[in-house]
Every structure is written in C-alpha cells, then in structure tokens.
Amino acid sequence: MEQVLKYERYENGLAVLTINRPNKRNAISKEVVSLFAQYITELENNDNIKLLVITGEGQQAFCSGGDLKDFHGHLKADEAYELLKPMQEVLYRIATLPFPTLAWMNGSARGGGMELASACDFRFASENGNYGFVQGNLGIATGWGGGSLLYRRIHPQQAHYWQIESAIKSVKELEEAGFIQKVIHQEFVPHAEELTMFLSKSVEQLRSWKAQWLRHHSIEQLIFEMDEEVATCSKLWESEAHIEAVNRFFSK
C-alpha cells in the first residue's frame, strides 16, 4: 500500500514530500503528521539538499487542512493542545530548515493547508484551485502556528485582515498579496522548469540565502509565537461553534 506521505530524493539536490490522500483532498491525518516528523529529521541531517518541495497528490487539492475526522471529537483544551502541537512542531521545523522550501500548491487549500504552505519559504499555486484561511468560519483560529508564519509572508495588515475575513481567494488574489511567487499550470514533476532557478545554484549559496532569511525574520521569537497560537486554538477547539462547524461539513 502506498504511504500517505511520499518522500523522494534526487541526485540534483531536490527532495519532495507529497501528501498522498487525494480522496480526502490531502487532509493531514495523524499518520501524515508522524511521517512528516520522520522525514524532516532525515532532511535536517542531509547536507546535500538544495530544495524541498511540498505538494499534494492529484489536481484537486494541495491540502484541505487537518483531517477533521482524525482531529475532531469533544476534546478538552489540554487534549486539543496535545493533538495540535505535533503539527505545529513540524511547521516550525519546515520553516527553519537550512535550505529553501517551496509549496507546490497543485490545487485548493484550506485551513491548515494554508498554514503548511506558509511554513515554506516560497509558494507556487495552481490557477485551478482556491485558497483560504477559513479557520474563522470553523469557530477556531490557526491551530498549527500558521498565523505567525503568515505575518512573515505577507504584509502584517493583510495577514490580520485575511484571518478575520476567513474568505476563499483566487490565485490572482494570492499573487496580488504577495503570498505566492508564481502561478503554475500543472501537477508537480521533478524536472519542472520552475525549479531551475533553485537547482542551478550551489548548496552553499542556497543555504547562505536561507540563513539570511531566517535572521531577517527574527526566527528565535517564532517558536514562542507559534506555541501561543496552539494554546489559543486549543481553547477554541472545545467551543460549540467549532463542533457545530465540523458537523456541518460532514453532514453536507
């Protein structure tokens, strides 16, 4: 049986993680979280990686966020914290990898899927998808630390607005906000032309630019901000508004 998260590594310094649950729109289950943690350890210990691409299988979705079946239930705040924390740690580790990272958003993204994309240094997104930090409509706030990351990706005024608005956006709107750097027209392939700008550079160059980027973004502060988000979202997790929103989604 194929893994729910596929890991591939190529001679030219490219590494690829593909969420492989297209029938669930690449929702992040507990198993996906645990595989992310495992593969990121491998990536952290490999000095030859130039670029990590994170993508989703199929054309419909990059990632629909946390698996609402796996993550749902009548949880108390401390139980919700235990549930959310491991993926926050994964996002922090992705954000602080010593080489560039790219979310190849092959289709729509929602909630935690947008948080995952925000953990990457760059985002290329498909014109066929639509995208939203929709947590506000689910009675919660960003639960994996993706709000703090969003503040480092687009103008803070816009980040604050997007979270309250909780709206679904077109690729054009993402581009105008500077959230994505390129519009893409196909699923991910390892020889994609769009990767040349990364893979034509040396490991040392790419890692020195990444180090500059991390210094610029006060990375030492990030872990505290992200943890605070998990704690806040955990309290909202037990609210009636959240439970009703999830039930609404599954009764569609």
Residue 31, number of CB atoms within 10 A of its CB:
14
Using the minimum distance from each CB to ligand LP2KCY5N, give the nearer residue, 98 or 139.
139
Q: Is 65 in the site for ligand LP2KCY5N (CB under 6 A)?
A: yes
Nearest to 129 by CA among 178, 65, 172: 172
- Candidates 38, 44, 46, 69; binder of ligand LP2KCY5N (CB under 6 A) is 69
Considering only the stretches 43-51, 139-147, 175-183, 196-204, report the one whose residues sit in contact with ligand LP2KCY5N under the rule CB under 6 A.
Answer: 139-147
Contact of 62 with 179, CB cutoff 8 Å? no
Q: Return phi, psi of residue 176, to 5°.
A: -60, -35
Contact of 132 with 168, CB cutoff 8 Å? yes
- Candidates 17, 32, 61, 184; binder of ligand LP2KCY5N (CB under 6 A) is 61
The C-alpha angle with vertex 159 and arms to 84 and 194, in degrees rounded to 5, equals 85
Judged by CB under 6 A, the chain residues 24 through 43 that form the site for ligand LP2KCY5N are: 24-25, 27
Nearest to 49 by CA among 207, 195, 208, 215: 207
Using the minimum distance from each CB to ligand LP2KCY5N, give the nearer residue, 6 or 24.
24
**Residues in the site for ligand LP2KCY5N, rule: CB under 6 A?**
24-25, 27, 60-61, 64-69, 71, 108, 110-112, 115, 134-135, 138, 142-144, 249
